[in-house]
Structure 1
Amino acid sequence: MKTSPFPRKYNITENLAAYFFMAPTILILGIFVVLPIVFAVFLSLHNVKLLGSIEYQFVGVRNFTQLVDDERIWIALKNTAEYVVIVVPAQTILAVILAVTLNSGIRGKNWWRILYFLPTVTSSAVLTLIFMWIYNTNGLLNDLLTALGLPTYNWLGDPGVALKAIMMMNIWSTAPFYMVIYLAALQDIPRTLYEAAELDGANWWEKFIHITIPVLKPVTFFVVAIGIIGTFQLFDQSYIFSGGTGGPNNATLTIVLLIYQAVFRHLQMGYAAAIAFLLAILIIIVTLFGRRLFGGEGV
């Protein structure tokens, strides 16, 4: 029977030392991750009275069953789903196009990188206010459409186009961030792969489809996953555009804006926690679907 070359006392001391060095991380994760999740579960099972002395009334799963009957939940889900389905693919495709363009060796590519990346480093609130000015009835966009002989829109007040206006703004402002990720990945692809394809007579499109896209698959999963998480959490643009109402006619109402309204307008802390869990489940399901679609196990 083999015995340990180290005394048992030494092993215990070594383990204690390891846990001592891990303690700060465990403490931070416990306070800022685990405890908030546990408290959110507690809140979702209670009706919380916020005015005066805080009181908790246990209601079981009533907050969750209320989700099914809440018409605004379904409106927010529809708006959020539409936003995710359009924005995530659009910003991903645009990011790939911009990255491939910059990686192709165009003149002044450093200046183009700066120009492309400017929207990403600009405050989201500032960008939203700028676009509200552009989208104004007498704003820059309608002036441009008039000059081209195209129909104009009430971008801020028409329920049919209000969410699309936010989509266009976010696609333009978020694609450069993912462009940088794609650009770094493109520069890591060995040139020998493209040279071998050229020897076989492949043109630029065949190299792009059969070399670039497959090699970028793990990066695409990361970009799509981050994009899904970000788009599901749309709040600030929708809040500023609608003044916190989700209007016009609930056209810009999102899940996170609904959580905000439940807490700060209706003082329904428990119901807001239930909505937050619904959002978390949706993000997990859609992200797992994206993992299966893009083969995220290679990331």
Structure 2
Amino acid sequence: MKLSAWKKSKLEQAMVGYMFLLPAVVALCVFLVGPIFYAIYVSFFRYNSLNVSQKQFIGLENFVHLFHDPMFGRALLNTSIYAVVVVPVQTAIALFLALIVNSIKGKTFFRVVYYLPTVTSTVATSLMFMFIFEPQGLLNSFLKLFGIHGPNYFNSPTFALPAIIALAVWSSVGQFMIIYLAGIQDLSDEVYEAAALDGATGWKLLRHITLPLLRRTTFLNVVLSLIGCFQVFDQMYVISGGTGGPLNSTLSVVLDLYNQATSGNMGYASAIGIALFIIILILTLIQKLIFEREEA
């Protein structure tokens, strides 16, 4: 009898727990899992959201079209260049800032200062950089002091993407600095004391102690940075006005997806989204393999 009552009590506790979880599970299914499966379903159709009645099953045609679409190819190239530059530069600067902040007083103040651009609206920071990089903006006004006439950055196919890269590094480096700072402060002082007894100082401590112990933190930062780079949209949209110009030099994969979706081509837009997911997954697995080999 007591055992039966105990089981009933446990079951009631479990039901109460599941009831508390239910809203989160429903929200997850409705706003995340459901749309993912629906996007996979739609990607096999010629699906115009402006005329749903003409939905037509075309199999893998949308995915085949990706390989022959020059617009998607240019978007993927721009995004890859953006990621190749932003990820290492952002990671290196974040590590440098974390090491500096960790070695000085007032860590809380500098954490807030460097993290502020991360929590600031992307639209606001994009507009600020448009003001800095405009023909008569702050940067060109500064260059004029040295007799240099700067270009119209965001209207130049050569300088538009590098200017957005500078914006991305500045606006998000604080997030990765905070992660590095947490990793550094979690390192054991005993390791450094032992290394110091062996005569290791300065660069040797950084190279042989700090960097190896921060390998997992670096992996986390690189993966998060890479995912963020391949999902870049806000800056490209605001600065180019949604066109990806000039001459598609600021067109990203997500911006291309957005343009396809807003023009009604939901099937092809879904295929782009799935292709982007596969690319990010493959790159993440490659990085995981590389870091695991280094640890071994």
Same fold (TM over 0.5): yes
The percentage of counterpart residues that share the same residue type is: 42
Say which is worse superposed, 140-149 or 20-29, in terms of deviation. 20-29
Q: Mark the runs of 5 or more structure 2 residues left unpaired by the alignment.
A: none
Aligned to 1:295, which of 287, 292, 296? Answer: 292
Structure 1 contact 220–294 (Cα < 8 Å) conserved? no
Displacement of 1:53 in angstroms is 5.3
Structure 1 contact 246–257 (Cα < 8 Å) conserved? yes
* Aligned pairs (5 A) from 1:26-175: 26-51=25-50, 54-105=53-104, 107-150=105-148, 152-175=150-173
Q: For 1:233 and 1:39, how far apart are their aligned partners in 2?
A: 20
TM-score by length of 1: 0.89
Deviation string 1:190-215 (CA, Å, 9 cap, x unpaired) is 11211211111112110001111011
Opposite residue 103 of structure 2, the aligned amino acid is S
Displacement of 1:54 in angstroms is 4.3
Q: Sort the Cα spacing of 1:35 and 1:130 in 2 relative to 1 into closer, same or farther, 3 A.
A: same
Q: Sort the Cα spacing of 1:15 and 1:63 in 2 relative to 1 into closer, same or farther, 3 A.
A: farther
Displacement of 1:276 in angstroms is 0.6
Q: For 1:113 and 1:272, how far apart are their aligned partners in 2?
A: 39
Structure 1 contact 90–171 (Cα < 8 Å) conserved? yes
Q: For 1:101 and 1:26, how far apart are their aligned partners in 2?
A: 42
Say which is worse superposed, 43-52 or 108-117, in terms of deviation. 108-117
Q: Mark the runs of 5 or more structure 1 residues left unpaired by the alignment.
A: 1-5
Deviation string 1:191-241 (CA, Å, 9 cap, x unpaired) is 121121111111211000111101111111111111111110111100111
Q: Sort the Cα spacing of 1:35 and 1:151 in 2 relative to 1 into closer, same or farther, 3 A.
A: same
Q: CA RMSD in A?
A: 2.5
Structure 1 contact 162–252 (Cα < 8 Å) conserved? yes
Structure 2 contact 48–267 (Cα < 8 Å) conserved? no
* Aligned pairs (5 A) from 1:183-198: 183-198=181-196
Displacement of 1:59 in angstroms is 1.2
Q: For 1:175 and 1:290, how far apart are their aligned partners in 2?
A: 20
- Name the SS for the 2:55 alignment partner: strand
Say which is worse superposed, 129-138 or 58-67, in terms of deviation. 58-67
TM-score by length of 2: 0.90
Q: Sort the Cα spacing of 1:41 and 1:110 in 2 relative to 1 into closer, same or farther, 3 A.
A: closer
Structure 1 contact 217–295 (Cα < 8 Å) conserved? no
- Name the SS for the 1:69 alignment partner: coil
Matched, 1:263 2:269: no
